[in-house]
Amino acid sequence: MKPASRTPSTSRRRTGRRSDEPVKARSTVKAGSVETRSIETRSLEADPPIDERIYRAVFDAVMSQRLVPGTRLPESSLCALFGAGRSTVRTVLQRLAHDRIVELKPNRGASVAAPGVEETRRVFEARRAIEAAVVRLVSARPGGLTAAERADLKARLEQEHAAMHRFDQVAWARLASSFHLRLGELAGNPILLRYLTELVSRCSLVVALYERPGNAACEHAEHARIVDLIAAGQADRAVAEMEAHLRRLESNLDVAAAEAAPSLARMLGLAPVTP
């Protein structure tokens, strides 16, 4: 006897959503959990593989600070969002953990990474070194920036400036990060770009944790000066400007308050109080 055949849910597998679900699910992120409609999924023109779609959705949400540090990422919610199997979701979460975007803890599952204070210092130290190398490579390119590349960078700066003045924090954070990553692409070194991508994403987490209210994560005017110096071939000045830019960004973090914050153990009287 021939076994009953199953009708493959091709539409769900291909699109990553059920036929009765909208293409976009607006973000309703709350610290500590991700609900079924948590991550904003986008219409997909190129229809990339489902695992890449999940990775990009989480990565982009972290980069734009829609997913805050410590937010839980339940496998069941991600499966429902994208119509994916648990094995696919687990593979993506392991990849995100490898890239330091999420943390995986036994019996607790995945959550957006929450870097500590010492890690914050090390991340910025590494980022200053990587971005100095990137700026030197871009400044030293034969022929410098092309007209199209300069126009692209200027357009990005204009978008960043517009987002800042309409107080669109999500777009602002995304555009500021994309500016640094675009310089990484122009450097022409994929290894540096890979490290820079991780560092920029980890800095986005750090800013979400520690930035003082009312401070811009990346100043438009500083980005503009960096572009002008690179275009003029002034590598040393461009590197110095980038160094100052990143140090200013780090100085806007309220790291001292984070260090002084009492732990739960201390608040419960279960840890010694050191003078």
Mind listing the pLDDT tens digit of every residue in the chain (275 residues)? 544 544 444 444 444 444 344 333 333 334 444 443 434 444 334 678 999 999 989 988 887 668 888 899 999 999 999 999 999 999 999 999 988 889 999 989 999 988 888 899 999 999 999 999 999 999 999 989 999 999 999 999 999 888 878 877 667 778 888 999 999 999 999 999 999 998 998 887 788 777 776 665 566 789 999 999 999 999 999 999 999 999 999 998 886 565 555 554 544 555 555 44
Q: What is the pLDDT of residue 67?
A: 84
Domain match, 103 and 214 both: no
Domain match, 40 and 142 both: no
* Neighbour-count burial for 18-38, b at 16+ CB within 10 Å, e otherwise: eeebeeebebebeeeebeebb
Q: What is the pLDDT of residue 6?
A: 47
Give a yes or no: residue 243 inside a domain.
yes
Give the tokens for residue 21: 């679900």
Domain match, 152 and 98 both: no
CATH number for the domain spanning 61: value is 1.10.10.10
Domain match, 134 and 104 both: no
Give the tokens for residue 171: 């777009």
Reference 204, options 71, 65, 99; nearest CA is 65
Dihedrals phi, psi of 103, to nearest 5 degrees: -115, 140
CA dihedral 138, 204, 195, 113 (to 10 degrees): 180
Distance of CA 94 to the CA centre of its chain: 16
Amino acid, single-letter form, for residue 144: G
Give a yes or no: residue 225 inside a domain.
yes
Domain match, 81 and 127 both: no
Q: Which of 94, 112, 130 is the last residue of a domain?
A: 112
Residue 209, number of CB atoms within 10 A of its CB: 20
Q: What is the pLDDT of residue 53?
A: 94
Reference 82, options 113, 49, 46; nearest CA is 49
Q: What is the pLDDT of residue 126?
A: 97
How many domains are there within the chain?
A: 2
Domain match, 137 and 250 both: yes
- CA-to-CA distance for 163 and 76, rounded, in angstroms? 34
CATH number for the domain spanning 188: value is 1.20.120.530
Contact 113, 96 (CB under 8 A): no
Domain match, 249 and 159 both: yes
Give a yes or no: residue 270 inside a domain.
no
Domain match, 101 and 179 both: no
